[in-house]
Amino acid sequence: MVPSMSVAALVLAAGRGERLGADRPKAFVQVAGRALLLHALEALAASQEIDQVIPVLGQNDRPAWGELALQLDSISKLSDPIIGGAERQDSMAAGLAALAADVSHVAVHDAARPLVSPADVDRVVQAAKRAGAAILAVPVRDTIKRVRAGRIVETPPRSECFAAQTPQVFEVGILREALAKAALDGRIGTDEAEIVEALGIEVCVVEGDPGNIKVTDADDLLLAERLLAGRREGSAAE
């Protein structure tokens, strides 16, 4: 019997997003008329490689989620939300713990990335099915410096530098093991790949789209608005 490969997406939305300075948690801030979280959930659900989409919310977000739920008819594959934790890694762990036994791969995505294309989600999931671990990333344009106390300590070759995006996709067992090791080592990764790398497992890099921005501050919100508007005009012209 061919083992079934069910892929779940965890959409991490439990951060407060204080750098945005909004009156509500970042995931619920509107861009192009809908919450960031809704854009992200829709993009993942539109990927043919994703079977199930699970939002991971902050503990006080149930009322906001309830309001959003009125607009949710349009999203297929949606599961009930999970409540996340203090750090991104805790939120990911809560989602991971809630996965059904038949889930073989998990795609972890930032709710703060509303612009990811379903085609890029397809490509990174396919890579993870082949290699066990894969992330979207884009080559950097600037030269990157490692800086400590205001002094450069290293200039890694630019051709080897990429900016990590999400989704980041893993065999479920690999991510569980990475999380266990991170807990043992007291390490908190700023993304999932970091703790998987610490296991000595190779993570495949799939070149993504620079338009898959992470909304962090008010300028990013304006940029996301423009990119989404451009996309709508593009599809209207087709």
Q: What CA–CA distances, in Å, run from 195 to 43, 169, 176, 188, 198?
A: 26, 13, 10, 8, 5
Least distance from C-beta 106 to ligand C5P, angstroms?
Answer: 14
Q: How far is the CB of 114 from ligand C5P (least distance, A)?
A: 10
Name the residues that contact ligand C5P, by CB under 6 A: 12-15, 26-27, 56, 84-88, 90-91, 110-112, 214, 216
Q: Considering beta carbons, is residue 51 or 110 the nearer one to ligand C5P?
A: 110
In the complex, residue closest to ligand C5P by CB:
15
Among 73, 69, 61, 46, which Cα is nearest to 235's? 46
Q: Residue 63, class by beta-carbon neighbours within 10 Å (0-12 exposed, 13-18 middle, 19+ buried)? A: exposed
Considering the complex, what minimum distance in angstroms separates the CB of residue 12 from ligand C5P? 3
Minimum distance from residue 25 beta carbon to ligand C5P (Å): 7
Omega of the bond leading into 167 within 30 degrees of 0 (cis):
yes
204 sits in which H/E element: strand 204-207
